[in-house]
Chain A
């Protein structure tokens, strides 16, 4: 009798409450850059997945971690919404920004708001993953390492001309004198 009673208790406790048919959104935010350089594009990609058992309604993504004075918007919008997100579906959103200042930047999470069911009155608030802290390289440092330096090489070539050209000129002068003598003979 006791074991049966225990079994019933365990069964009731273990029975999970998954029958509420609500949407559950998982969101990720990632920076697609290999290098984040001042004055060059910064690509941010957001992905939202619905892993719940119902459609999500009025899904709103808003990112306020890129202040206007530090990041210039190139393409895409930081406050967007989708009407519905079906069960098991995922959407991705990309924003292109341009960092205006070098230094360390902390990329924090963006906010996702949605209604888990059609009738729900309370909005569900969630957050994306945060890429964390990253350094924004100054443009001069990046170019010193990565630009083709064509002007520098051209300058170098011009600078080597005297040390190569001067002896060559001397030799050529004496050669042409010798050739003239040879022709005379």
Chain B
């Protein structure tokens, strides 16, 4: 009789993790779409928009995601089932060209990162569920030299060459 109760207790313990609602994603399949500001005249600050569609192997539908954006933890916006968006903006100078890695965490990961940050470290040891690399090719703020300037220089050059050869001939 004692063993049967023990068996029952063990059985319950074994089943418990499955019964508990853990909103974590196992084996995520991620498709991402990234946008970064390309022209400075179209936006006064550089904006990055990362859209992800996540499919979990364990069929998790109520996933809550948090993203680590430049050291800042933000909740990911939900734009549909399994679709999330993270966007951030800053001055053009502060977001130069390069690759930015955006780490996505579930609730557990988010709490772990917050705990690490409170204890002083930067939370980079926590493994994210997945990472999206954002390639920013820089925000175009205009050509190096205006074409009008180039045209003026060429015209002056032609005039100077003519003037020089003329004075050379006249001498």
Contact = CB atoms under 8 A, between A and B. Distances in A.
Contact of A75 (B35, B40, B41, B147): B35
A149 interface: yes
B147 A149 contact: yes
Interface string B78-93: 1110010101110000
Contacts of A32: 43-45, 47, 89
B41 A164 contact: no
A26 B78 CA distance: 19
Nearest to B49: A75
Contacts of A40: 39, 42
* Chain A interface category by residue count: 35 or more
A80 B44 contact: no
Contacts of B74: 91
B89 A94 contact: yes
Contacts of B39: 40-41
Contact of B41 (A34, A76, A95, A96): A34
* Chain B interface category by residue count: 20 to 34
B51 A76 contact: yes
Contact of A80 (B79, B88, B150, B151): B79
Chain A contact residues: over half helix, strand or loop, or mixed?
strand
A12 interface: no
Contacts of A95: 49
B85 A77 contact: yes
Contacts of B40: 34
Interface in B42-62: 42-45, 47, 49, 51
Given A76-B87, A77-B85, A45 B47 contact: yes
Nearest to B48: A94
A1 B47 CA distance: 65
Given A74-B35, A82-B75, A91-B77, A33 B43 contact: yes
Contacts of B51: 75-77
A150 B147 CA distance: 7
B146 A77 contact: no
A81 interface: yes
Nearest to A86: B75
B37 interface: yes
A41 B42 contact: yes
A19 interface: no
Given A80-B78, A96-B35, A34 B143 contact: no
Contact of B78 (A35, A81, A164): A81
Interface string A29-42: 00011110100111
A153 interface: yes
Contacts of A94: 47, 49, 87-89
Given A34-B44, A35-B41, A43-B37, A80 B77 contact: yes
Contacts of A81: 77-78
A156 B151 contact: yes
Contact of A146 (B41, B75, B154): B41
Given A148-B143, A148-B146, A76 B49 contact: yes
Nearest to B147: A148
B47 A153 contact: no
Interface of B: 33, 35, 37-45, 47, 49, 51, 64, 74-75, 77-80, 83, 85, 87-89, 143, 146-148, 150-151, 154, 158
